[in-house]
Structure 1
Amino acid sequence: MNAPEYFFLPDIQASADQRQLAIHKVGVRGLRYPLALLDAAGRVQNTVARLSMSVGLPPEVKGTHMSRFVELLEEKRAPLNVNRLLRMLDEMLLRLDAQSGEIELAFPYFISKAAPVSAAKSLLDYDVRMIAEKRAGQRSELTLAIVAPVTSLCPCSREISAYGAHNQRSHITISARLRSGMSPEELVRLAEEEASCEVFGLLKRADEKWVTERAYDNPKFVEDLVRDIALRLMKEPRIAQWTVKSENFESIHNHSAYAEICGENPQHA
């Protein structure tokens, strides 16, 4: 019985604190960890996520148990989707005896795309964030956010030029607080469909002709991008609250054009 694991070790973190100040968030951040996800088709995609995990700490407790956050990740579990992430949040709160908490995952997400003419397939990467959060006395909430690269072509440039028009690569960011499950693919497609043209990882010459002409026939200002996407988000009953941003990396300036809209969708009976 002299093995180290049987020695009595005081738990300083669980001792009382006399300052009587609650902490809104305490935990770990910047933790990189392998992650298995379910995509929209039910297939497993493996990636590496950067995680932040935190709980609220009552005023009378000195500290939280940091090791339990990592222990939670080490548990064997099925590949994550939005609903399973909410269950993971509940498990974290139970382990840490907390009434509020948050798990945030940020990771690259790959979608297979077929070129518009040649049908050549390639992977394109998207930045995705998933945030599961619970405040004391309230229901758990989940936010899904994506960054989709697209092409935008300037309507003014096309109108005033004898030939051609300047275009740029744009980053569209959609953040949606969900009422029910959605996949990253669905938000990505919504952004791409409202752009002058989507982008691809692999294009042949016939595909380049198609995307160039597609953008020319579908010019959009940065204001058009966020307004058109906002109209789509407003019609989505699975979304409670949303923000859409577009940053256009201008090809004729050394600065970006930027626009942002946010809104809430009423709950329908």
Structure 2
Amino acid sequence: MVLADIQSQYDHRNLDIDRVGIKDILYPIVVKDKKNGKQSTVARINMYVKLPHNFKGTHMSRFVEVLNNHRTNIALESFKGILDDLQTVLNSEEAYIEITFPYFIEKTAPVSKLPSLMDYECTFVGISSKDKKDFTVSVKVPVISLCPCSKEISDYGAHNQRSYVTIKVRYKGMIWIEDLIEIAESSASAPIFSLLKREDEKYITEFSYDNPVFVEDIVRNAANKLLLDERVTWFEVSSENYESIHNHSAYAVIARDKRGG
């Protein structure tokens, strides 16, 4: 018995659909790790294609088939193959993938030297069509920011808070997630750790006090490092400071295309 293929039937409304597919599927993946070679994690994945006006629908099951075929080798280098397969299997002009996952790094406390794991939110995005191939990697990094103005005018202490620095890049060659995390952490007042003993807490508190930064300083510090990195061809760096003395955040962003033109 031949089952009807409703999705491939003609649609009379004459409207292309920009993106259609599956959203928020949880899937185990393996990504490259600078220290250990590979790291297993679980990602939330969005996969879409462009649907021509003459087709009623796309074939949703084929997205998962493509994903399953590549699940042991999902990295920025393999994105082109995944996108090409999506375009071929779904007969589409354009394919889009967004993969967001926690990435873990072992960090050592500054004084006690105790190890612990820190998680960072990372996102890979790939878009492929006959006219363009576009790939970006981004990482969201928690840091400490301590206010220079508060330090200057106060007799005791200074207000400080957790901030999130998000760095998104296009690049050539190979760029490691760890490299982007280091840029973000070194641009703020101090990094954050999962495990700190009292001697570590004292060190981080004093270190951040000695390195006060506005939200503007954070994005400028990071942007300067990205401008000097020859692997990076385009970047966007933002910082959101969750102000401890206000009921709102402070925010700044810098974007630059280093390719010219």
* Count of matched residue pairs: 261
Cross-structure match for 1:169 = 162
Cross-structure match for 2:237 = 244
1:194 maps to 2:187: yes
1:90 maps to 2:91: no
Cross-structure match for 1:141 = 134
| Alignment check: 8 A CA contact 1:150 1:169 kept | yes
Cross-structure match for 2:60 = 66
CA distance in 1, matches of 2:185, 2:230: 20
Q: What secondary structure is seen at the aligned counterpart in 1 of 2:107?
A: strand
What is the identity percentage for the equivalent residue pairs of Structure 1 and Structure 2? 46
Cross-structure match for 2:103 = 109
CA distance in 1, matches of 2:79, 2:36: 16
Give CA-to-partner distance per residue, 1:135-193, whole Å, 9 cap, x none. Answer: 3322x211111110001111111111223111111111111123333222111111001
Q: 1:141 to 1:42 in 2, by over 3 A?
A: farther
Structure 1 residue 20: deviation in Å? Answer: 2.3
| Alignment check: 8 A CA contact 1:99 1:137 kept | no
In structure 1, the gaps of 5 or more residues are 1-6
Q: Which moved more, 1:123-132 or 1:73-82?
A: 73-82
| Alignment check: 8 A CA contact 2:67 2:82 kept | no
Alignment of 1:7-156 (within 5 A): 7-75=1-69, 77-138=71-132, 140-156=133-149
Q: What amino acid sits opposite 1:59 in the alignment?
A: H
CA distance in 2, matches of 1:66, 1:265: 38
Query: Taking structure 2 as the reference length, what is the TM-score of the superposition?
Result: 0.94
Cross-structure match for 1:223 = 216
Q: What amino acid sits opposite 2:23 in the alignment?
A: R
CA distance in 2, matches of 1:88, 1:222: 38
CA distance in 2, matches of 1:101, 1:24: 10
CA distance in 1, matches of 2:107, 2:57: 48
1:180 maps to 2:143: no
CA distance in 2, matches of 1:85, 1:111: 23
Cross-structure match for 1:261 = 254
CA distance in 2, matches of 1:212, 1:113: 17
Structure 1 residue 87: deviation in Å? Answer: 1.8
1:158 maps to 2:154: no
Structure 1 residue 17: deviation in Å? Answer: 2.4
Q: 1:30 to 1:77 in 2, by over 3 A?
A: closer
Q: What secondary structure is seen at the aligned counterpart in 1 of 2:188?
A: coil
Q: What secondary structure is seen at the aligned counterpart in 2 of 1:75?
A: helix
| Alignment check: 8 A CA contact 1:169 1:248 kept | yes
CA distance in 1, matches of 2:36, 2:89: 29
| Alignment check: 8 A CA contact 2:29 2:71 kept | no
Query: Taking structure 1 as the reference length, what is the TM-score of the superposition?
Result: 0.91
Give CA-to-partner distance per residue, 1:96-120, whole Å, 9 cap, x none. Answer: 1222110101111111101111211
Which of 188, 192, 208 lines up with 2:201 in the alignment? 208
Give CA-to-partner distance per residue, 1:45-66, whole Å, 9 cap, x none. Answer: 2221111100111222222111
Structure 1 residue 237: deviation in Å? Answer: 2.6
| Alignment check: 8 A CA contact 2:30 2:75 kept | no
Q: What secondary structure is seen at the aligned counterpart in 1 of 2:223?
A: helix
Structure 1 residue 78: deviation in Å? Answer: 3.4
